[in-house]
């Protein structure tokens, strides 16, 4: 499927996109329209963030603008400049579902969305808007407003247990995180022989989608075939991920539609909602209950830190001495740390930005990567800088936005009453009532997968 496109009639060949592309998927001569090689594209959308060529009403006239606007299927209320590199939008599908009285609409929001969406309404960079986000989604008419952070906590239960199992029982190591679909796609394209190193866990988005149409439908006494599952993500690759043939273990497509942070902002504006003036509201229970560990999934090192907070206690049976594991934080391209977990010294690595992963993979191929667990994030400092986040036009804003979004995420983690995934009461209830145990039969069927390209996965 096409997720990222470059409009040949708008592109001026500035080549900002070719410089940022982590898999060298964009080709073209300077000052000529660039093209995407879809066989190489990992759909991360960083080209969308960096693109400088655009069409606007002010500079190109209403006719030229209206043509591009119509081709992309955007709401009439969108009047901002339209850039050459863009993601294919699914706003109209969501509007149709919201207007359908026969559809039961459930929505989930990734942790990075709340750290950036307010920027599209004039707020300062990194203004965290969790409560206003929940309120806006409710005003749009979603039947249930849930949170991907909940599924991030579930992911830690599954992924942490998987890592412990591999370490104790001679499984394939190092284990790599699998929550970033652009990274998974990169590995499939470039190192398919190393797929066994990927965690078998689905991403939080896909876990929550599978739970929407099974556990959630049962709790809410709603027929699963009526559930229309929407996720709001900072990431354009999530649009690809939800369409993968592996992602239907609920008996239905686990996630029906993905909207980016930018697209949700358009939808909110289209509905005439005053986002800035909204009163804070909470996400719905049970799948809107989350911890600080789930929240930090949005920044580089966050998945690792969340896993260590829980893994330490699962292995030792004791409370972790310090919840803040600063050794895995930072924005260096590749960093490693050794964490004492009882009698075990856990060796971990964090890759920030997909352009930094090749030396790591070559080291693994050569048998020289002496690590247990590696987190890989495609985007510059993690999901807070995803291809679907609010577009930054002024070059000097990038670094400041990165800094403020990271800071807002860690601040939110600190202010939450529970900061470890295994202590989330709604996650405990999920296991008690439905999944029974991490890596159990039901969680294996719904929450894990085997990545095998475009072929149907077999458990």
Q: What is the pLDDT of residues 121-146, one digit of tens each?
A: 999 999 999 999 999 999 999 999 99
Residue 433 makes CB contacts below 8 A (sequence gap 6+) with none
199 is catalytic: yes
Q: Which two tokens stand for residue 309?
A: 């907070």
Distance CA 297, CA 328 (A): 13
**Integer angstrom CA distances of residue 38 from 2, 3, 54, 418:** 8, 9, 22, 43
Q: Are 283 and 134 in contact (CB under 8 A)?
A: yes
Domain contains 285:
yes
The predicted pLDDT at position 395 comes to: 84
Residue 155 makes CB contacts below 8 A (sequence gap 6+) with 179, 201, 202, 203, 204, 207, 297, 303, 447
Q: Could you tell me if 204 and 291 lie in one domain?
A: yes
* 3-class secondary structure, 112: helix
Q: Could you tell me if 152 and 82 lie in one domain?
A: no
Q: Please give the model's pTM, rounded to 2 decimal places.
A: 0.96
The predicted pLDDT at position 454 comes to: 39
Residue 322 makes CB contacts below 8 A (sequence gap 6+) with none
Domain contains 12:
yes
Q: Could you tell me if 33 and 162 lie in one domain?
A: no
Looking at 88, 122, 154, the residue that finishes a domain is 88
Query: What CATH number does residue 73 fall under?
Result: 3.30.70.20
Q: Could you tell me if 226 and 342 lie in one domain?
A: yes
179 is catalytic: yes
Q: Say which of 17, 44, 109, 179 is annotated catalytic.
A: 179
Distance CA 331, CA 352 (A): 6
38 is catalytic: no
Distance CA 104, CA 100 (A): 9
Domain contains 112:
no
238 is catalytic: yes
Q: Say which of 119, 159, 263, 295 is annotated catalytic.
A: 159
The predicted pLDDT at position 324 comes to: 97
Q: Could you tell me if 160 and 44 lie in one domain?
A: no
Q: Which two tokens stand for residue 40?
A: 């190489």
Domain contains 106:
no
Tell me phi and psi for residue 229, to 5 degrees. -100, 120
Give the number of domains in the chain: 2
Domain contains 311:
yes
* 3-class secondary structure, 377: strand
Distance CA 40, CA 136 (A): 37
305 is catalytic: no
Q: Could you tell me if 77 and 203 lie in one domain?
A: no
Domain contains 173:
yes
Residue 391 DSSP symbol = P
Looking at 70, 88, 106, the residue that finishes a domain is 88
The predicted pLDDT at position 451 comes to: 80
- By C-alpha distance, which of 33, 30, 31, 29 is closest to 10? 33
Q: Say which of 158, 246, 295, 375 is annotated catalytic.
A: 246
- By C-alpha distance, which of 400, 445, 413, 231 is closest to 329? 413
Q: Are 273 and 140 in contact (CB under 8 A)?
A: yes
Range of the domain at 232: 144-447
Q: Could you tell me if 358 and 215 lie in one domain?
A: yes
Q: What is the pLDDT of residues 222-258, one digit of tens each?
A: 999 999 999 999 999 999 999 999 999 999 999 999 9
Domain contains 163:
yes
Q: Say which of 119, 158, 208, 241 is annotated catalytic.
A: 241
Q: Say which of 41, 180, 379, 383 is annotated catalytic.
A: 383
Distance CA 99, CA 236 (A): 25
- By C-alpha distance, which of 236, 192, 178 is closest to 42? 236
Residue 106, strand partner residues: 144, 229
40 is catalytic: no
Distance CA 333, CA 329 (A): 12
Strand ranges across the sheet with 144-145: 144-145, 104-109, 227-233, 257-260
Domain contains 139:
no
Q: What is the pLDDT along the chain (459 residues), one digit of tens a residue?
A: 899 999 999 999 999 999 999 999 999 999 999 999 999 999 999 999 999 999 999 999 999 999 999 999 999 999 999 999 999 999 999 999 999 999 999 999 999 999 999 999 999 999 999 999 999 999 999 999 999 999 999 999 999 999 999 999 999 999 999 999 999 999 999 999 999 999 999 999 999 999 999 999 999 999 999 999 999 999 999 999 999 999 999 999 999 999 999 999 999 999 999 999 999 999 999 999 999 999 999 999 999 999 999 999 999 999 999 999 999 999 999 999 999 998 999 999 999 999 999 999 999 999 999 999 999 999 999 999 999 999 998 888 999 999 999 999 999 999 999 999 999 999 999 999 999 999 999 999 999 998 865 333 333
Looking at 88, 104, 127, the residue that finishes a domain is 88
Q: Could you tell me if 75 and 150 lie in one domain?
A: no
Query: What CATH number does residue 331 fall under?
Result: 3.40.950.10
Q: Could you tell me if 149 and 84 lie in one domain?
A: no
Q: Are 396 and 404 in contact (CB under 8 A)?
A: no
Residue 85, strand partner residues: 6
Q: Could you tell me if 283 and 171 lie in one domain?
A: yes
Q: Could you tell me if 320 and 412 lie in one domain?
A: yes
**Integer angstrom CA distances of residue 267 from 95, 237, 242:** 8, 20, 20
The predicted pLDDT at position 46 comes to: 97
The predicted pLDDT at position 453 comes to: 52
Q: What is the DSSP pairing of strand 82-83 with strand 85-87?
A: unpaired
Q: Say which of 162, 208, 263, 305 is annotated catalytic.
A: 162
Q: What is the pLDDT of residues 29-60, one digit of tens each?
A: 999 999 999 999 999 999 999 999 999 999 99
Q: Phi/psi zone of residue 366: left (φ > 0), alpha (ψ -120 to 50 degrees), beta?
A: alpha
Q: Say which of 53, 161, 178, 199 is annotated catalytic.
A: 199
443 is catalytic: no
263 is catalytic: no
Q: Could you tell me if 169 and 76 lie in one domain?
A: no
């Amino acid at each position: 499927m096409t997720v990222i496109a470059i409009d040949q009639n708008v592109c001026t060949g500035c080549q900002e996109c070719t410089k940022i592309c982590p898999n060298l998927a964009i080709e073209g001569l300077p000052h000529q329209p660039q093209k995407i090689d879809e066989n190489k594209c990992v759909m991360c959308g960083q080209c969308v963030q960096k693109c400088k060529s655009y069409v606007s009403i002010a500079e190109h006239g209403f006719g030229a603008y209206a043509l591009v606007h119509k081709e992309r299927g955007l709401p009439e209320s969108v009047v901002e400049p339209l850039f050459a590199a863009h993601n294919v939008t699914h706003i109209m599908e969501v509007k149709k579902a919201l207007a359908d009285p026969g559809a039961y609409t459930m929505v989930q929001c990734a942790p990075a969305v709340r750290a950036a969406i307010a920027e599209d309404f004039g707020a300062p960079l990194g203004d965290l808007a969790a409560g206003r986000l929940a309120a806006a989604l409710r005003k749009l008419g979603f039947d249930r407003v849930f949170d991907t952070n909940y599924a991030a906590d579930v992911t830690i239960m599954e992924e942490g247990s998987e890592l412990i199992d591999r370490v104790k029982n001679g499984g394939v190591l190092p284990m790599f995180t699998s929550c970033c679909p652009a990274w998974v796609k990169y590995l499939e394209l470039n190192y398919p022989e190393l797929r066994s190193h990927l965690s078998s866990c689905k991403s939080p988005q896909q876990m929550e989608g599978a739970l929407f149409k099974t556990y959630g439908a049962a709790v809410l006494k709603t027929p699963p075939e009526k559930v229309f599952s929407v996720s709001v993500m900072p990431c354009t690759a999530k649009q690809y991920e939800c369409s993968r043939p592996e992602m239907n273990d609920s008996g239905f497509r686990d996630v029906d539609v993905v909207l980016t942070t930018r697209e949700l902002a358009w939808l909110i504006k289209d509905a005439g909602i005053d986002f800035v003036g909204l009163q804070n509201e909470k996400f719905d229970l049970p799948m809107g209950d989350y911890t600080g560990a789930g929240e930090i999934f949005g920044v580089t090192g966050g998945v690792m830190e969340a896993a260590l907070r829980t893994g330490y206690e699962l292995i030792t049976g004791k409370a972790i001495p310090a919840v803040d594991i600063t050794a895995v934080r930072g924005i260096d391209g590749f960093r490693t740390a050794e964490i004492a977990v009882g009698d075990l010294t856990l060796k971990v690595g964090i890759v920030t930005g997909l352009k930094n992963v090749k030396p790591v993979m070559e080291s693994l191929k050569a048998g020289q990567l002496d690590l247990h667990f590696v987190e890989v994030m495609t985007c510059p400092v993690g999901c807070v800088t995803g291809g679907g986040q609010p577009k930054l036009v002024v070059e000097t804003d990038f670094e400041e936005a990165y800094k403020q979004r990271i800071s807002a995420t860690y601040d939110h983690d600190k202010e939450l009453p529970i900061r470890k995934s295994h202590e989330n009461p709604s996650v405990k209830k999920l296991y008690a009532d439905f999944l029974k145990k991490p890596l159990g039969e039901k969680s294996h069927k719904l929450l894990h997968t085997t990545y095998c390209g475009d072929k149907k996965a077999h458990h």
